[in-house]
Amino acid sequence: MNYQIKILEDKIKESLKDLGFITDTVTINPSNRPELGDYQYNGIMPLAKKYQKNPVEIANTLVNILKDYPELKEVSTAGPGFINLTFSDKFLIDFLNSSLKDITINYKSDTPPKTIFLDYGGPNVAKILHVGHLRSANIGEALKRLCQVIGHKTICDVHLGDWGRPMGMVILEIKTRYPNIAYFNENYHGEEVDFTLTNEDLLELYPIATTKAKNDEKIMEEARKINYELQNKHPGYYALWQKIVQVSVNEVKKIYQDLNVSFDLWEGESNNFEYIDEMMEYLYGKNIVEESDGAKIINVKLATDTKEMPPLILIKSNGAASYEATDLAAIWERTKKFNIDEIWYMTDKRQELHFTQVFRASLKSGITTNKLKFVFNGFGTMNGPDGKPFKTRDGNVMPLSNLLDMVTEECEKKLLPSITENRLEIAKTIAIGAIKYADLLPFRTTDYNFDLKKFIDLNGKTGTYLLYSTIRMKSLLKKAEEKNLVFNTIEDVNNPSIHKIIVTMLDLKRIINRSFENCSLNEICEYLYKITNLYNNFYSEYKILTEKNNILKTSYLSLTKAIYLNNCYLLNILGINIPEKM
């Protein structure tokens, strides 16, 4: 909770105590009837019930005391015992001025910091990076930044899909096309090989390789064999695989850089694989691995389950370790290497069962205890404009890079003609802002439809609107600076528009806390729009730079500065960069 609000809440609690009413906490919230007050306190009714007193009477007595609080301008009782509170000018001035000194006070929490491990991105090596991976990257990155501004420590892993049968298929396809390259020579022992492989090659190869294997059992068997040998570090296959991973990762890194997405660790399923034997030995020791149709499984059903809960398959009947096994091994590895309080996963919500099984197996086996909190942050799908999975015109999966290019092109058309340099770069920054905002605006689990026109509408609830408005604030401040004006404090807030803007700003900490609790950025997106809109209304109402009264002029500019700094801070949490102009 905002500390100014918290101080006020504690004071109300004390006043209630003086009146003989003891309550654990007092919470005041933004009013849902702003015409009656800025905030409201709804705690009187339960208190009256507890003490078997008339709520309106308690409310009236409390209101009489609150009237003398310097923090409040107006206080009134409403209905069966609600209390409406309107803040005093001094209270709002003090709050805004401390925000101007240090904007981070509205974000930092006083709860003890935790170490949170975030697993997001999850691109698959050699495979096209598609819009599903966009969501994981956007949401994961924003949640990481949110954790950090609150004061938590984060460790982030991209968790590559770099292991398993598709790798065997891709290697087999390369072998079929180029049987003579040194990797396939029996005597190969790790020397440098003159073989050029590009990401385009991989994107072309991958679908062909997988389709061939799916349609031909003999090819599939061959791919399985290669994969098996790869996992046993066959020198040629292993070296080629490393090359494939490198080419893919370089490409993915470029796209992530554009998206402002970064990681501490570039680990993947192949790293987890290194721990599987060790982990299996441990699990056998715990006597919880069962045999079922040739597979090794762990039963993760609980007596309380109402839905079906299939057992977790660790080792498939063909001897291969499963996706579940790699994730369990990832937990094994992470908890051994780091001292972590929570692990968060950001994937499509369709992977929920997989993670439920893994979390349960981890607890049941004692790999982790209840002290470690697992959080599965599943997300909904971004669909095409028709509400069906996003496709290109010819019906294929839309590569992420094409999507970025398409939106950049449209944003470029909207740039001011006077911008002659770096148009494409600026357009790209705006396009990414627009995509990210649209992606983070719906509640995490909600599906949404991609709608280019809507997403870049300068007058809509969009990233472009927010960027445009924030740039305009900056340019106003720059003009003021050029006139040598100084604006670091607000002195006069006796104006309904300003009053409302600062009251909205007071609510920021609650929004931040709720976003953290829900692991969703939707409320931050809504909040950014709300405060920007309120500010823009004020901006069009008042001629800031030509204001004659100096106290008012300074106050207007200081308010602008606070909103500007705060918008930058919030956009940064969302992973959105602000261009110089647009």
Pure H helices in 292-371: 323-337, 352-365
Which of the stretches 64-72, 117-125, 416-424, 473-481 binds ligand ARG when contact is defined by CB under 6 A?
117-125
Residues from 421 through 440 that contact ligand ARG (CB under 6 A): none
Q: Which of 519, 164, 159, 100 is nearest to 316 (CA)?
A: 164
**Shortest Å, Cβ 326 to ligand ARG:** 7
558 binds ligand ARG (CB under 6 A): no
Which of the stretches 64-72, 116-124, 201-209, 379-387 binds ligand ARG when contact is defined by CB under 6 A?
116-124
**Shortest Å, Cβ 93 to ligand ARG:** 48
**Shortest Å, Cβ 132 to ligand ARG:** 7
Cα-Cα end-to-end distance for the chain: 36
Angle in degrees, CA 552, 554, 557, rounded to 5: 105
Residues from 493 through 512 that contact ligand ARG (CB under 6 A): none
271 binds ligand ARG (CB under 6 A): no
In the stretch 317-356, what mask flags binding to ligand ARG with x, by CB under 6 A? ----------x--x--------------x-x---------
**Amino acid (1-letter code) at residue 517:** E
Which of the stretches 119-127, 180-188, 248-256, 312-320 binds ligand ARG when contact is defined by CB under 6 A?
119-127
Whose Cβ is closer to ligand ARG: residue 118's or residue 582's?
118
Whose Cβ is closer to ligand ARG: residue 72's or residue 343's?
343
Residues from 129 through 168 that contact ligand ARG (CB under 6 A): 159, 161
Please state the length of the chain. Answer: 582
Report how many residues bind ligand ARG under the rule CB under 6 A: 9
**Shortest Å, Cβ 347 to ligand ARG:** 5
Query: Could you tell me the CA-to-CA distances from 153 to 120, 204, 214, 268 in Å, in that order?
Result: 16, 40, 44, 21
119 binds ligand ARG (CB under 6 A): yes
CA atoms 276, 281, 282, 283: torsion sign:
positive
Whose Cβ is closer to ligand ARG: residue 347's or residue 470's?
347
Q: What is the C-alpha separation between 298 and 284, in angstroms, rounded?
A: 10
**Shortest Å, Cβ 348 to ligand ARG:** 7
Q: What is the C-alpha separation between 430 and 467, in angstroms, rounded?
A: 8
- Long-range CB contact pairs, 223-228, < 8 A, 24+: 223/165, 223/168, 223/169, 223/171, 223/172, 224/165, 224/168, 224/318, 224/320, 225/168, 226/168, 226/171, 226/172, 226/175, 227/164, 227/165, 227/167, 227/168, 227/169, 227/171, 227/320, 228/168, 228/319, 228/320
Query: How many Å is the Cα radius of gyration of the chain?
Result: 29
Query: Could you tell me the CA-to-CA distances from 252 to 125, 129, 158, 245 in Å, in that order?
Result: 9, 8, 10, 10
124 binds ligand ARG (CB under 6 A): yes
Whose Cβ is closer to ligand ARG: residue 159's or residue 296's?
159
In the beta sheet, which residues pair with residue 41? 28, 83
Backbone angles phi, psi at 397, to 5 degrees: -65, 140
**Shortest Å, Cβ 350 to ligand ARG:** 9
267 binds ligand ARG (CB under 6 A): no
Which residue is at the shortest CB distance from ligand ARG? 122
Which of the stretches 16-24, 118-126, 314-322, 475-483 binds ligand ARG when contact is defined by CB under 6 A?
118-126
Query: Could you tell me the CA-to-CA distances from 228 to 18, 218, 223 in Å, in that order?
Result: 75, 15, 8
Residues from 287 through 316 that contact ligand ARG (CB under 6 A): none
Binding site for ligand ARG (CB under 6 A): 119, 122, 124, 159, 161, 327, 330, 345, 347
